[in-house]
Chain A
Amino acid sequence: MSSLATAATGTLKQPRSSIRRQRSLGLVLRVLIAVGAVIFALFPIVWIFSAALNPTSSMANQRLIPPNASMANFNELLNNPIQPFFRWLLNSVKVAGITSVLAVFVTALTAYAFSRFRFRGRRSLLLTILLIQVFPNMLTIVALFLLLRQLGDYFPSLGLNSHGGLILVYLGTQMGINIWLMKGFFDSIPRDIDESAAVDGATHWQAFWRLIFPLVRPVLAVVGILAFVSTFNEFILASVLLRSTEQFTLMVGLYLFVTQNFAQEWGVFAAGALIGALPIALLYVLLQDQIVGGLTQGAVKG
């Protein structure tokens, strides 16, 4: 342990009692600050729980601990014909699910080839993929909109207001980073495995599908889940590319509450927000170590 906090406890010059007093004072101070920080972090979450259980649904009569807490908001949420919440949730799961499975599969194939084959232009291709990703995909949103409008003239299922078109666009956002990420995983698997398979007469495909793929499956699952979460959470592209209420994804749908009678529908919105956020938050907490690992890998290298 090496933070300044621990370093402070290791003092040599001061007498012991003073150190102890200083340490306990510091601890009290830090506990107080920590309490403040936790309140800042958690109050919105506690508040939304309370709003969801508040039976009147209006923002005006909300208390922190709702009197006569009930599931009324959840009932209303699920039986509301104007805001087909369940439909939105299903749409989100469908779009994010298909996107993540396809993205993992397509990028795994590509990354495997980059990792195992040596061919001319390999290096420049890899770097080009990295460079293209520098262009933030938000910037091409107008072009993507026009692309789907044009595609939609010929295939409505890939056009505006279609889940097919949205999935296509999402797939594009998943390619670059994941190809690099997975190439790293494949690189870490010894090539001897492929080579011995080749000696036994296996094709590259067989080596990939029967030997390498099962080995990296846990990693692919994590990548897939992260792709799922980022797609599930995406808001801007979906709100531009989807037009009609029943096609909306959950995020676009929840945003719809804001444009309608937000203060009166607050409890219903809160119920929806909870249902939408809980699974994702749970995934995050469960995968905390992987996510933190991925985050800090770039930060603390060397």
Chain B
Amino acid sequence: MTEAITGTRGRATPLVPLSNFLTRYVLRLLGLALVDAFAVWLVSLLIRDAVWPLAAAVIAVTLLVNAVNLSDRLYPLRWMSPAFAIIILTVLYPIVFTVYTAFTNYSDGHLLTKVQSIRRIGQDRFLPEGGVTYRWAGFRSSDGEIALWLVGEGGQAYLARPGQPLEEVTADAAGVGPLDADGFPESLEGYTRLGLRDLLPILDSQLAPLEFGEPPQTIKIKSIREAAQLQQRYVYDETQDVILDQMTGALYTADDRQGFFVSETGATLNPGYQVTIGWSNFQRLLTSPALRGPFIQVFVWTIVFALFSVLTTFALGLFMALVFNDPHFPARKLVRTLLILPYAIPGVIGILIWRGMLNQHLGVITTNMVNLFGWAPGWFTDPFWSKVGVLLVNLWLGYPYMMLVCTGALQAISSDVYEAAEVDGASTWQRFWNITLPLLLVSVGPLLIASFTFNFNNFTVIYAYNEGLPPIPGTPTPAGYTDILISYTFRLAFESGRGAQYAYAAAITIVIFLIVASITLFQYRFLGRWEEVSESV
């Protein structure tokens, strides 16, 4: 298999000057070195933050790029490496990540890895009862930053600013004015001293939440006179995998099934962390009545929507193709071009135009219906009419495609068949039903299935028409009457009132994928497309 390459290369090499070849080789190595340096830097950062899946993807891409550029045996892959890098990062990695996420509890409150979560919990501080305390005076810098002059129990003084380490200062340092009776400088270069009258109004609202200094030595104001050093509240014990609350003495044990540190009383520490929870998300989907309800409702509508979208667009498209297939038709070409226009307009713009025309109060269709019939449906508020509306808009968007496809397919049907039917005395209707449609379906059938899977995931029309609304009342996770599975999934991930439920969304994604994949498999297998495709490789 590789002879073709080595053969031509073997013939080509002697004609390429050696210096030319060397420069190219050196350039390639330099490029690789650059890529590698960058990758090492990125991976080290990712590993530091324990972002394992992405780190693995970056490592895979880097190894691939190195391998194909260093090995002559992999020369063909060198041409493909940019495409593969893109596919791995933006197609393959998200798929693997989605599958992985479906088996975890990844959601708001469980966004971090265990390491990150322990680090985050460890950042909590508290004011201990008998800890180190200071007397303080407040200063404000010209840009509004507050600083504290602290005097400790032993009389040593510190300057504390938010986010900067505590600085030991002495009264005779430059810029420090004379000390007052309490031992605080009356002035400080770059700052103005805050009197009691300045401090009182902002004490609780602005000063109390401020943390001065840098962990582990941070200072918080306790009262108008006293400031105290904060202590780390939660301390992690690695050997026992527990966290001790230094303030209350409570012990939190890691529960790796829930992804929480849990105390004996059942209290949990926030944030929780990510754990794999096996098939729980899928079980919940199938067994929890509260979740199953909207899921099944959405599922049924998804099928109905996809089916009706295909049927209506196909029916109208075929009809128009038949009508305009007649060469005697006046201005046929022009009319056909005009009829394709809805397909030529960006889909979102088309949907938004319809959204305006169907507008509840002022839309041209609604107002005219009210004038004519005294009534107009709630295109966006009524569950049934919203569904009709979205199907209508999708019909407008989709029939030109079917028309184009059917026109092509009709022209491929031999006229002999019709002539034979003619001789046998078949009526127009019979000819259509027994000849045109079956022959058409042979060639257009696979496209109808493809159109079904496309509409099964036709997020754009659902979202741009009405965002899946109106809402289904009383569901534990938000769902709308026009929501299809993909938009329902999207809501779970991004719009849920109980926070983002990525893992649950990923589980539904897997379900959608299985459905779509089996339809596609059917399309390839039973319609013989796979063999056709495999042969054409």
Contact = CB atoms under 8 A, between A and B. Distances in A.
Interface of A: 1-8, 10-13, 27, 30-31, 33-34, 37-38, 40-42, 44-45, 47-48, 51, 58-60, 62, 106-107, 109-110, 112-114, 117-120, 122-123, 125-127, 129-130, 132, 134-147, 150-151, 153-154, 168-169, 171-173, 175-176, 179, 195, 198-199, 201-204, 232-233, 235-236, 240, 251, 254-255, 257-258, 262-263, 266, 269-270, 273, 276-277, 280-281, 283-285, 288, 291-292, 295-296, 298-301
Nearest to B75: A117
28 contacts: A1-B327, A4-B428, A7-B421, A7-B431, A27-B328, A34-B320, A59-B362, A59-B363, A119-B77, A122-B76, A122-B537, A130-B533, A132-B95, A135-B517, A139-B457, A143-B101, A146-B502, A150-B46, A168-B89, A168-B90, A179-B83, A233-B347, A254-B348, A270-B356, A277-B346, A296-B409, A298-B447, A300-B443
Contact of B408 (A8, A139, A199, A299): A299
Q: Name, among B16, B316, B330, B362, the residue most crowded by chain A CB atoms within 10 Å (CB to CB).
A: B362
Interface in B60-115: 75-77, 79-80, 82-84, 86-87, 89-95, 97-98, 101
Contacts of A173: 90
B444 interface: yes
The 3 closest A-B pairs by CB, nearest first: A172-B90, A296-B408, A201-B15
A258 B446 CA distance: 36
Interface in B492-523: 493-494, 502, 505-506, 509, 512-513, 516-517, 520
A119 B5 contact: yes
Q: Name, among B343, B349, B413, the residue most crowded by chain A CB atoms within 10 Å (CB to CB).
A: B349
Contact of A113 (B80, B421, B425): B80
A238 B355 CA distance: 20
Contacts of B2: 118-120
B251 interface: no
Interface stretch (B188-196, B290-298, B459-467): B459-467
A59 B328 CA distance: 41
B424 to A, nearest CB: 11
B323 interface: yes
Interface stretch (B140-148, B214-222, B241-249, B334-342): B334-342
B411 interface: yes
A33 B324 CA distance: 11
B439 to A, nearest CB: 10
Contacts of A120: 1-2
Contacts of A143: 93-95, 97-98, 101, 506
Contacts of B422: 7, 10-12
A172 B356 CA distance: 34
Contacts of B160: none
B339 A37 contact: yes
Interface residues of B, number: 127
A154 B45 contact: yes
Interface in B20-55: 42, 45-46, 49, 51, 54
Contacts of A179: 83
A49 B485 CA distance: 35
Nearest to A292: B404
A34 B329 contact: yes
B409 to A, nearest CB: 5
A139 B513 contact: yes
Interface of B: 1-2, 4-5, 8-9, 11-12, 15-16, 42, 45-46, 49, 51, 54, 75-77, 79-80, 82-84, 86-87, 89-95, 97-98, 101, 316, 319-320, 322-330, 335, 337-350, 352-357, 359, 361-364, 396, 400-401, 404-405, 407-415, 417-419, 421-423, 425, 428, 431-432, 435-436, 443-444, 446-447, 453, 457, 459-460, 463-464, 486, 489-490, 493-494, 502, 505-506, 509, 512-513, 516-517, 520, 533-534, 537
Nearest to B533: A130
Contacts of B512: 139
B87 A175 contact: yes
Contacts of B339: 37-38, 41
Contacts of A141: 490, 493
A140 B328 CA distance: 49
A4 B431 contact: yes
A60 B360 CA distance: 12
Contacts of A262: 355-356, 359
A98 to B, nearest CB: 13
